[in-house]
């Protein structure tokens, strides 16, 4: 089997691997190195995380179990620094050496940081990856004034996100117009007016020459001598190809790694794809041409006669702060061009098509982009537009039956993924697809930016005709393996008495009889929630960390985090932890954010013995369950405390530990409103007041920051426990699997939850169910210690587990 190594774990590279797996399954032993400690995720949607619309887990394209299922060795958080082209091997920054027969460089790009004094100061960042998002979100919690350098798409998306986070934002731009590469002056002025109405302030034609401050940024100085204050500076002025490993290995580099029409570099058996590659003196920064490159490269590596990559004509479908935009081809007029223009300033609609010799050469659409697909086809195919109606009339709409019928099969519907109308229709007809999710799963249409989904839905409706069910087509299924929604799955399990994961998939006619890493854990959870007394957990259907009862780290080692109820411990437990850490040469002993002591870097085969010697309950730092109950010292010691926070925290943790929930749950107990235990941003937070407790719900302290909402105020600790039990059980019964409490409450409504829990009989019934469920749980490590079968299956050296689930 040939050895295929890829340097980089981003969108273009992994799409190439997906194509290779389709063309030649089992032909390659694949190894991937990823610089970030994450699986492949959708960078296009980073702005939606910053703007608070999406969580990181929702933008993961290929979860870590996907790598395992396809027998791909993945090294996350590890950078290849050298390619030995003579010996055909790569060397990482951790000293790892891996041989290759074929090598793909897919290292992407880095943010371009202005080479000016002060650029290295704290509070200065690019906007390129999830780490940049996290830094901006953290800064917004502490500071109030941000400056974004760059009035292009990336800069404006960053500015919109920072506004959403409550910061005051200035956008600095060198040019007189925003997005001058995509928009003409009229469209740019319309966009600026809209963004100013949303709260952005623009400093146009300003050149930044220095970033002010001592250790942390305090402001910017411009070339004209003026200055502006700033607590955070985001540089969003462009990208530069990440060519470091190629340069270190004497592979020819210009602006990017130079490749030919088959993505081959100057060295044999070494290829480059994506934003790191330079083809015919062009480095592409949009996903559509990068996926085109990936398809050509996959065919080349698999030995299939490939059509050479000849470059791409790019059309940019954008949405900036809620405003739809489309741009393609030439933007500026010259003596040889003529314009066709629609300008409706009142409704904020602007359309301009540039023509030359009766052919379209440029398109700018603002506010109404329904003509983009048709116009882009005319541009790329150089159609003669004489006598053709360029713009749709006001009464016609994108995706009507007549539009779809007249659309040629080779019309590009999903520009990001290169999916045509014909490919979508063929998939619908040959694979009996009936929902948007299924079409997306099967064809990749709508899988990247998602802006083509309305058109895909229209094609689905037109193709199915009378068989089309609009409600069914739009419903959210468990995954692409089925059309069954969460509500339907729960109902079918109950009414048909289904009792196993395999039985569910068989009876409900799963398209993929083995399921996938998304649906199997979900089915397992719902079965356990419904059949609480007699369901035997399907451990192999759980996510990888829950399967191992430990968090796998980027180097393949694991963490051991014993439970410390309410963050309270004893000298005896501390002594045990120290002795175990010393005996097993644990490389890192760290206090966690959940008031525990974590042991990191543990070998898999040492896990059972370590837990046996610790003789402490698992802290479930890996599970979809109650993780921690963080407490302050409370009224016993604090002069401000009004309640015994430690006692309540310990009681909560002891009762609800090990409870399976749709997603992880964290709690915090503060003895007063000073919030020392961060109760205000927990899934459930308890704040002591004179005469009782306030209970806050649906908080989130992660990337998608959200303060908790006040659920109720109670007088006694007993009332706290009853309300918590009822709330958790209702969440367990009605949330989608992997839906955090914050998203669940936003979906079902806080008022609805309050109304349900206001009824005493309902609370009583919910508590009876959760009490019944809690009786069945056993300590997982006791079970593992006593079972040689479990130890042999999961914890011996020959057992292979790849990657980790996102915490």
Q: What is the pLDDT of residues 267-279, one digit of tens each?
A: 999 999 999 999 9
What residue has token string 């990247």? Answer: 448
User: Nearest-5° angle of CA 140, CA 144, CA 150?
Assistant: 80
Q: Would you state the pLDDT for residue 404?
A: 80
Question: How would you classify the pairing of strands 109-111 and 102-105?
Answer: unpaired
**What sections of 251-334 are H helices per DSSP?**
287-301
Q: How far apart are CA 551 and CA 374, in angstroms?
A: 49
The one-character DSSP state at 307 is: P
DSSP lists the bridge partners of residue 27 as none
What residue has token string 């426990």? Answer: 721
Q: Would you state the pLDDT for residue 450?
A: 66
Single out the residue of 189, 183, 445 nearest to residue 326, CA to CA.
183
Please, are residues 801 and 760 in contact by the beta-carbon 8 Å criterion? no
Query: 276: which 2 tokens?
Result: 């790191």
**Largest interatomic CA distance in the chain:** 88
Residues in the chain with pLDDT values less than 70: 317-322, 392-403, 415-416, 447-451, 470-475, 554-555, 702-704, 797-807
Tell me if the pTM is above 0.75: no
**SS3 sequence, 141-200?**
HHCCEEEEECCCHHHHHHHHHHHHCCCEEEEEECCCCCCCCCCCHHHHHHHHHHHHHCCC
Query: 297: which 2 tokens?
Result: 């490269």
Q: Which whole-number Å values give the CA distances from 514 to 168, 190, 802, in the listed order?
A: 50, 52, 19
Question: How would you classify the pairing of strands 109-111 and 124-125?
Answer: unpaired
Using DSSP's 3-state secondary structure scheme, residue 26 falls into: coil
Residues present in the chain in total: 807
What residue has token string 């089997």? Answer: 1
Q: Would you state the pLDDT for residue 482?
A: 83
Query: 602: which 2 tokens?
Result: 């543990």
Query: CA 203: distance to chain centroid?
Result: 32
**SS3 sequence, 439-452?**
HHHHHCCCCCCCCC
**SS3 sequence, 537-603?**
CCHHHCCHHHHHCCCECCCCCEEECECCHHHCCCHHHHHHHHHHHHHCCCCEEEECCCCCEEEEEEC
Give me the half-sphere count of Cα atoms (radius 13 Å) on the Cβ side of residue 653: 28
What residue has token string 């019309």? Answer: 411
Q: What is the pLDDT of residues 158-191, one digit of tens each?
A: 998 899 888 999 999 999 999 998 899 999 999 9
Q: Would you state the pLDDT for residue 402?
A: 58
Q: How far apart are CA 620 and CA 565, in angstroms?
A: 12
Please, are residues 251 and 257 in contact by the beta-carbon 8 Å criterion? yes
Q: How far apart are CA 644 and CA 60, in angstroms?
A: 41
């Amino acid at each position: 089997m040939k050895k295929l190594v890829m340097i980089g774990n981003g969108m273009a590279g992994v799409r190439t691997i997906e194509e290779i797996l389709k063309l030649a399954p089992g032909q390659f032993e694949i190894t991937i190195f990823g610089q970030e400690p994450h699986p492949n995720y959708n960078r296009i949607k980073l702005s939606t995380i910053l703007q608070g619309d999406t969580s990181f887990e929702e933008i993961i394209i290929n979860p870590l179990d996907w790598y395992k299922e396809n027998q791909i060795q993945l090294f996350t958080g590890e950078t290849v620094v050298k390619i030995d082209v003579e010996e055909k091997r790569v060397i990482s920054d951790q000293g790892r050496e891996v041989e290759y027969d074929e090598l793909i460089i897919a290292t992407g790009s880095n943010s371009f940081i202005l080479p000016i004094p002060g650029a290295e100061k704290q509070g200065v960042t690019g906007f390129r990856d999830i780490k940049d998002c996290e830094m901006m979100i953290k800064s917004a919690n502490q500071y109030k004034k941000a400056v974004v350098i760059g009035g292009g798409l990336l800069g404006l998306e960053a500015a919109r996100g920072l506004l959403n986070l409550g910061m005051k934002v200035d956008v600095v731009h060198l040019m007189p117009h925003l997005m001058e590469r995509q928009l003409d002056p009229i469209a740019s002025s319309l966009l600026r007016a809209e963004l100013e109405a949303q709260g952005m302030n623009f400093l146009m034609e300003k050149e930044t020459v220095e970033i002010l401050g001592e250790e942390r940024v305090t402001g910017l100085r411009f070339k004209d001598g003026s200055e502006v204050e700033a607590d955070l500076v985001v540089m969003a002025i462009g990208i530069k190809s990440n060519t470091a490993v190629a340069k270190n290995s004497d592979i020819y580099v210009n602006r990017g790694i130079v490749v030919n029409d088959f993505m081959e570099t100057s060295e044999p058996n070494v290829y480059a794809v994506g934003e790191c590659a330079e083809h015919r003196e062009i480095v592409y920064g949009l996903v559509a041409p990068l996926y085109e490159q990936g398809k050509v490269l996959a065919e080349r590596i698999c030995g299939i006669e490939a059509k050479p990559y000849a470059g791409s004509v790019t059309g940019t479908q954008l949405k900036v702060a809620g405003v739809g935009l489309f741009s393609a081809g030439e933007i500026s007029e010259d003596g040889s061009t003529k314009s066709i223009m629609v300008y409706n300033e009142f409704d904020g609609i602007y359309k301009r098509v540039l023509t030359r010799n009766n052919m379209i050469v440029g398109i700018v659409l603002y506010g109404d982009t329904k003509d983009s697909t048709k116009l882009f086809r005319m541009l790329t195919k150089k159609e003669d537009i004489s006598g053709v109606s360029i713009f749709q009339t006001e009464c016609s709409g994108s995706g009507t039956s007549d539009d779809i019928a007249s659309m040629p099969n080779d019309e590009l519907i999903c520009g990001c993924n290169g999916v045509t109308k014909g490919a979508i229709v063929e998939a619908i007809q040959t694979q009996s697809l009936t929902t948007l999710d299924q079409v997306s799963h099967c064809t990749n249409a709508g899988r990247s930016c998602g802006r083509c989904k309305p058109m895909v839905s229209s094609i689905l409706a037109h193709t199915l005709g009378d068989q089309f069910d609009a409600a069914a087509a739009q419903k959210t299924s468990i995954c692409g393996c089925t059309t069954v929604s969460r509500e339907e799955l729960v109902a079918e399990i109950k009414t048909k008495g289904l009792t196993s994961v395999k039985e569910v998939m068989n009876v409900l006619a799963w398209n993929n009889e083995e399921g996938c890493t998304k649906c199997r854990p979900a089915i397992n959870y719902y079965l356990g929630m419904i059949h609480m007394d007699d369901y035997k957990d399907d451990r192999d259907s759980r996510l990888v960390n829950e399967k191992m009862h430990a968090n796998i780290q980027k180097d393949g080692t694991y963490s051991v985090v014993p439970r410390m109820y309410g963050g309270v411990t004893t000298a005896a437990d501390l002594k045990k932890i120290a002795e175990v850490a010393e005996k097993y040469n644990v490389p890192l002993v760290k206090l966690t954010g959940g008031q525990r002591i974590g042991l990191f870097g543990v070998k898999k085969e040492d896990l059972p013995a370590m837990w046996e010697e610790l003789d402490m309950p698992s802290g479930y730092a890996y599970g979809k369950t109650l993780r921690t109950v963080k407490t302050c010292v409370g009224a016993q010691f604090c002069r401000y405390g009004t309640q015994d926070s430690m006692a309540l925290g310990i009681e909560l943790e002891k009762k609800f530990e090990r409870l399976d929930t749709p997603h992880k749950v964290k709690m915090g107990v503060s003895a007063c409103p000073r919030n020392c235990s961060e109760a205000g941003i927990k899934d459930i937070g308890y704040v002591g007041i004179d005469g009782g407790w306030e209970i806050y719900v649906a908080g989130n302290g992660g990337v998608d920051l959200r303060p908790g909402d006040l659920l109720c105020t109670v007088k006694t600790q007993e009332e706290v426990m009853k309300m918590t039990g009822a709330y958790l059980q209702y969440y367990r019964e009605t949330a989608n699997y992997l839906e955090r409490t914050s998203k669940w409450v936003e979906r079902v409504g806080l008022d609805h939850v309050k109304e349900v829990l206001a009824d005493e009989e309902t609370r009583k019934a919910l508590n009876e169910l959760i009490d019944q469920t809690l009786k069945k749980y056993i300590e997982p490590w006791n079970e593992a210690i006593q079972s040689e079968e479990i130890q042999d299956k999961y914890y011996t050296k020959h057992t292979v587990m790849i990657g980790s689930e996102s915490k």
